[in-house]
Structure 1
Amino acid sequence: MDKILEAVMLSSYPTNVKQGLARRVIEAAKQPMDSAQCWAMLELSTKLYLVGDTKFKREIGQEVLEVYGRYHLEAFVEFFNAHFLLTLLQEGYGTPGHPSPYVLDYVQLGLQFIPEGPAAEGVFALLRLEVLRKVCERPGPRQCAKVARLLSQYPRCIPDGRHRLLFCQQLVRCIGQFQCLAEGEEGIVEFLSHVNRVSGLLPKIWRAQASSILPSLKELFAIISSTEEQEPPSNALASVVQYVPLELMDGVIRNLTNDDSITDAQMMTAISRMIDWVCWPLGKNIDKWIITLLKGLAAVKKFSILIEVSLSKIEKEQEKVERKEEKKEMEKKEVKEEKEVKHEEEEKLEKKKEEKEMVEKEKEKEEEEREREEKKKAEEGCLGPRTGGNQGAPCVEQMCGPEGSRSVPDLINYFLSPETLTAENRYHCEHCASLQDAEKVVELSEGPRYLILTLLRFSFDLRTMRRRKILDNISIPLFLQLPVASGCPQQDQDQVCAAYDLCSVVVHSGISSESGHYYCYAREGATATVNPPGSPGLSSAEKLPAPESQWYLFNDTRVSFSSFESVSNVTSFFPKDTAYVLFYRQRAREGLAAEPKAPRPHSEPTLHKDLIEAISKDNILYLQEQEKEARSRSAYISTLPKSPPWGRDFDEDKDEDDEGSPGGCDPAAGGSGSSFHRLVF
C-alpha cells in the first residue's frame, strides 16, 4: 500500500486525481493490517510530512499519520518511541545541513496519540531536555514560537526543577536576539505574532513557579544594561515586561537602585534602552516601569544618571532629526539628479528625433527633385500666362512658359514674347492664298483692374497615362508691372506698364492632381498711385511696392495672422503646397485717385434696365429658395434624436491627400461646401 501511495504522490496526474486516489488508500488503511505494513506507511507519512515539497504532500502525510494513530495505535506507539524522537530532534530529517523545519510540528502532531504509560513518560522526559537544548541554541522567532506552541499544548514538556529557571533565562536571551528581517506588512505582523506567543509562555511558567520571576528579571536587566561593544538587544524584550505583576514593581526597582554592584554606566544604558521600548507596538505598562525607575534613582539622589540619560536622549533625537534631514536632502538630490538625467535623455531623444526628421525631409526633397527631373525628361512641362479670347480681357491665365522659369514676370514675358510660325505651323495668308512664315504677337490693349493669374500646375504623364501635379517653386513678386500697348520707355515707344500689387494667393496642398486641399493668403492693402496716362513713365520711387499691410491666412473656418514671407516661401516650407491662383490689384492713377467720386481706376459698364430687373428677380427667387431649404433642413434635424454639431454639406469623395473638410476654389476641387450657382448683386 505504501508503494501505491508513493507512486500516486510522484505521478504527474492532476492534483484532484491524486487527491482522490490518496483518499482511497487512506480509507483502506483503516482496515486491520500487519505491523510491517503499518511501519512502512508510517515511514512514508513521516517522509511526506517532513520533506514534502508541496502543501498537498504534507497534508496527505498528516492524514496518514492521524489514521494510523487512531486505528493502529499499537504500531504507532512502537514507531513513535523516544529513541526515534531523539534522533529526529538532534539529527533532523532530510538532507544534511538542511533539516526539515517541521520537526516540532511533527512531534506535536504525534503526541496526541501517545497513551499514558511508561512510554509516554519516557517521551515527555526526553522532550523536557530537548526543548531546553533547543532554546540554548538561540533559534529564530519562528522556531521559538513552535517550541512555545508545543509547551503550551503539552505543559509536561516544560523543564522542571533547576532546569525551569535556566529555561526561563535562556528564553529571555532568545527574545533579546529576535530581529525582524521582513519589510512588508505581512512579515511584520507575523514577527509580532511569534514574539507575542513566545513571551506569553513566560507568565504560564511564572504562575506555576513564582520563584522563577526574579531570576528572569535579573537576566533581562543584565541584557539591557550590558555596556560591551555588541549589537543592542531587541526591543521585543518589552513584551516580557508587560507580563510582570505590577505589585512586584516597587520591590524590584528598590533592589536595582540600591544595588551597589550596578554601575552608573550600566544603569544609564538600561534606562536608555527601556525608553526605546516605548515604540514597541505590543508593550504594556512600559511607561510605568520607566517612571518608577526614574523616581527610584531620584530618591537615592543619583541625579547624574538622570542628567546623562536626558542629554544622551536629546543627542539621539538630534541625530535622528539630522539623519532625517540628510535623508530628505539625499532624496531631493536623487530626485533632482533623476530629473536632470531624464531631461538629458529627453533632450537626446528630441535631438535624435529632429535629426531623423531632418534626414527624412532631406530624403523627401531629394526624391521630389529626382521626380521633377524625371518628369521634365518624360513630359513637356509648361508654366506661363495665357489670355482670354479677346485682347484687354480682365483675366490673364498662365498656361505655358520657358523651361527653368522661376518667377511670375518671366512667365508673363515669355507668354507675351513673339512666336514664329514656320514649317508645319505656317500661317495661311488670305491675300496670298497660301501658307507663309509669320510672327504671332499677343498684346494687351488695356490693363484690367484686377489681374488674375492661374499657374498651370497639372500635366499629363505619358508614361503612366495619368495627370500629375507640377511642384516647381515660382517666385511671386509683391509688385508687378504688366506691359500694355500704349507706350512705355522700358519696352518700346508703343507700350506702357500697368502697376499691380499682390492682394491674394490661392494655394493648393497635395501631390495629386485629382485631389488636395485649398487655402488662401489675402490682405487689404493701402491704395498706391502711379502717374496718369501720358506721363513719361514710372520713376524709381513709383516702382516701389505699396505700403505693406497685414496678411491673413484663410484655411477652411480658421483665419489667422500671416506675412508676405510666409506667402513667398510657402513651397520652400511645405514642398507639397504650391501657389495656384494669384490676384493682383491695379494701382490707382494720381488724377483718378484725387476725385472723390471716382475711387476706381476703371468704371464698370452700366447695365440695361431690363437686365437689372431680371437679376433682382433672380436674386429674390434665390434667397427664397435658400430660406426654404434652411427651414426644411432645420425641421428635419429637429426630428432626429441626436443632431451632430455640423452639417454634411460638402462633397463626400475623399482620397489620400484630402481626408478632412478642405476649402478650395470650386466644388470640384474640394470646395468649402456650398457651390456658387448664381451671382448676387
Structure 2
Amino acid sequence: MDKILEGLVSSSHPLPLKRVIVRKVVESAEHWLDEAQCEAMFDLTTRLILEGQDPFQRQVGHQVLEAYARYHRPEFESFFNKTFVLGLLQQGYHSLDRKDVAILDYIHNGLKLIMSCPSVLDLFSLLQVEVLRMVCERPEPQLCARLSDLLSDFVQCIPKGKLSVTFCQQLVRTIGHFQCVSTQEKELREYVSQVTKVSNLLQNIWKAEPSTLLPSLQEVFASISSTDASFEPSVALASLVQHIPLQMITVLIRSLTTDPNVKDASMTQALCRMIDWLSWPLAQHVDTWVTALLKGLAAVQKFTILIDVTLLKIELVFNRLWFPLVRPGALAVLSHMLLSFQHSPEAFHLIVPHIVSLVHSFKSDGLPSSTAFLVQLTELIHCMMYHYSGFPDLYEPILEAIKREAYAPRVFFEASRPPWFTPRSQQDCSEYLRFLLDRLHEEEKILQVQSSHKPSASLGCSETSFQGVANKAAVLTESPCPSEGEKTLIERMFGGKLRTHICCLNCRSTSQKVEAFTDLSLAFCPSSSAENLSFQDPGSSPNTQDGDLMQASVLSEEPGVYSPAPAAFVCDSAVSETMSGSPPDEICCTDNTSVPHESSKILVNKDVPQKPGGGGTPSVTDLLNYFLAPEILTGDNQYYCENCASLQNAEKTMQITEEPEYLILTLLRFSYDQKYHVRRKILDNVALPLVLELPVKRTTSFSSLSESWSIDVDFTDISENLAKKLKSSGSEEARCSRLVPYLLSSVVVHSGISSESGHYYSYARNITGTESSYQMCHQSETLTLASSQSHLLGRSGPSAVIEQDLENKEMSKEWFLFNDSRVTFTSFQSVQKITSRFPKDTAYVLLYKKQNSTNSLSGNSSTSGLWVNGDPPLQKELMDAITKDNKLYLQEQELNARARALQAASASCSFRPNGFDDNDPPGSCGPTGGGGGGGFNTVGRLVF
C-alpha cells in the first residue's frame, strides 16, 4: 500500500483523480496490516509531512498518518518512540534542520495520536529536558511560538521543580532576543501574535507555579538594566507586563529603588527601556509600571536619574501619541513626566516644535477617540504653558492651533432656547438662564447614568418650574448628599444650599427643609419699591399711596419667587448676640417704636431694611438682608402645623448653609398689581457693591471654628460668645456663621419699562492678578449682610465704604460693555451710575465670583502668551540661573538622601540611644537666598 501511495503522489495524474485514490487509501486503513507494512506506511507519511514538495503531499501525509495511527495504535506507538523523537529534536530529519517548525508540528500531532498510550509518559519526560535545551538555544519567535502551542496543549512537557524556574528565566531571555526587521503589516501582525503566545505560556506557568514569578521578574530586570552596549533587549518583553499582578507594584518598586546593589547606570537603562515598552501595541499596564517607577525614584530622591531619563525619552514618548494603539499609555506617561519636571522648561520645550502637527492630525482624522485625546492633550499643554510662561515666540503657534472653533450665538441659542419661548419676541433672560442651567444639569446626570450603567438615584426634590407658584429661590433637583465626584458641573459651579426653618408660634414645634439653589431672587422692600413704579399701560396711574398697592406691587411675576408681606416677626436673641455681641436693653425698630428687650426674643419689623433716611439708594446688601430676614406667616399665609393639626401663625427663617462658587442674584423688577391688574417694572436704582459678603451658616465642631473663619477677620468676640455657650451646654457642636466674600463679575442690564419689551445688554469684568492686595482687605471694613449689626455697631453704610475703596484703589479699569455685537471698554463707575444716567436701564441679573481666603486671585491670562500666571517673564539669563540652581538643589537633595540611607544602614549594626540627627542641612542659595525661604528653593516647587 505504501508503494501505491508513493507512486500516486509523485505521478502526473490529475489532482481530482489523486484525491479519489487517496480517499480509498484512507478507507483501507481499517484493514489488517502486519507490523512491517504499518511501519512502511508511517515512514512514508512522515516523509511526506516533513519533506513534501507541495501542500498536497503534506496534506496527504497528515490524512493517511492519522487514519493508520488510529486503527493501528500499537504499531504507531512502537514507531513514535523516544529514540525517534529525540533524533528529530537533536538531528532533524534527513535534509530538514532540527530547528524547523515542521518538526515541532509533527511531534505535536504525534503526541495527540498516542495520548492514550502508556509510552507517552516517557515522551513527556524526554520533552521536559529537550524544551529547556531548545529555549536555551534562543529559538526564533516562530519556533518559540510553536513550542508554546505544544506546551500549552501538553502541560506535562513543561519542566518541573527547579527546572521550571530555569525554564522561565531562559524563556524570558529568549523573548529579550526577539527581533522583527520587517516593516510589512502582515509580518508585524504575525510577529506580535507569536510573542503573545509565548507570553501567555509564561502566564500559565506563573499561575500554576507562583514560585517562578519572582525569579522571572528578576530576569526581566537583569535584561533591561544591562549596560552591555552590544546587546539591546527586545521591546517584546513588554508583553509580560500585563501578566504581572498589579498588587506587586508597591513591593517591587520599593525593592528596586532601595536596593544598594542597583547602580544608577543600570536603573537609568532599565527605566529607559521600560519607556520603550510603550511602543508595544498590545501591552497593558506599562504606563502604570513606568509611572510607579518614576514616583519610586522621586521618593528616594534620585533626581539625577529622573532628569536624565526625562530629557532622553520625552520626545519618544510624545511621538507615540501618533499611534492610536499605544496612545493612552503614552499620554499617561507624558503627563507625569511633564508635570513632575518642574524645575526647568527644558523637557517641555523639547516637544514644543512637534505639538502643532499632532494637534492638526487629531483634528483632521475626526475620530471620537482622537477628539477625546485632543482635549486631554490641550489641557496638559495649556498647563505647561501656564507654568513656564514667558516664551511667546514658542507658544503663539500652539495657542493658535489648540483654539477650537467658536459657536455662533444664534446656533447656541437655537439649541438652548426653552420650547415655550416664542421666536423673535421679548423673553425673560433670568428665566432663560435658569432653564439653561437646569437643562445642562439634567443632561449631565443622564450622561453619568449612561456611563456608569447603573440606575440613577432619585433627584429628591421637586423640579424647577418656571410658571408655577413663586418662591424665593430657584431650586435645583437635589440628590441626597452627592459626593463631589458625583456632582454635575452646574452643581459644582452654581449650586448652593438653603435651609428653611419654620417655627409654630402656638406649640413652638419646628420643621426644617434643605433645598438646593442655583440663584437667589431678591425682592425689593415694600417701602422702597412702591415709590418708583413703571406701568405697562402708560395711561393708567394708580394711587401709589394705597397700602394695598404697596403690598401687592412686590408680588413678583418671576417664576419661583415671591416677596413676603410686611409683618412683625420674632427672632432668637442668641443669633443676634452671636452676630453683634450682647444685645442692648432696647432696640429701635424702623417705625421708631421702642421694644423692651426680652430674655430670648427681639421684636423687629419685617419692613427692614428701608431706604436710609427715606430717600437713600438701596443696595444689593439691603435686598439680601430682606431676603434672609425672618418672616411671620399670618393671615392667608398661615402655616399648617401638624402638631396643632390646624393653620397657625409661624415664624419662617432661611439660612444659606452651603455657598456656591458663582452666586447668581436676580433683582425682581417685574411685579403685578393685583388691584389694577397691570404689570409694572420697579425702576429703583440699586447700589452694586464690588465686594459682597454672604453669611453662610453650617454646623461644625468648635475646635475647627478658628479654621473656618477668613484669615484676615478678627472674630475674637464671636469665638468667646460661642465658647461660653458651648461650655455651658456641654455640646461640642456649634452653628457657625461665616462671611464668604464674593467679587462682582458681571451684570445683566434691562433697558425698558416692562417685561414685554426692552433690550438686554451686559457688563463683565476681567479679573486679573493686579488686585491680589485688595482681594481680602474688605473683610473687616466693608459689606456686612447683617444690617442690624452695622447700625448697632455704628458703622457707615456699606455702599459708601465700597465706593471709597474704589476711588482709593482705582479698581474700575477692567470692565467691558457687551451690547449686541459691540464690545467696548468701560469702568465700574459707569456700571454703578447707569440707572442714574438712564432711568429705564436697571441692573437685573448679577453674577458674583467666590473669593478664596488667600491673597491671590486667578492669574492674568494673557492671550498673547507673554505670561499666563500673573508673573512677568524673567530675563533669559536669570531664568537660566534659576534652572541651574534648581538642578544643583536637586542634586544636593539626592546626596543628602543617599547619606541618610548609608547612616541608616550603618545604624543597623550599632546601637545609639538617640539615633542620628536626620535634620536636613541648609539648602543651596536659591532665588530667595538661604535654605528655608520660599521661591524655587522649596521642595514644594520641585514636585516629582
TM-score (norm 1): 0.46
Q: Which has the higher contact order (CA 8 A, sep 6+)?
A: 2
Larger radius of gyration: 1
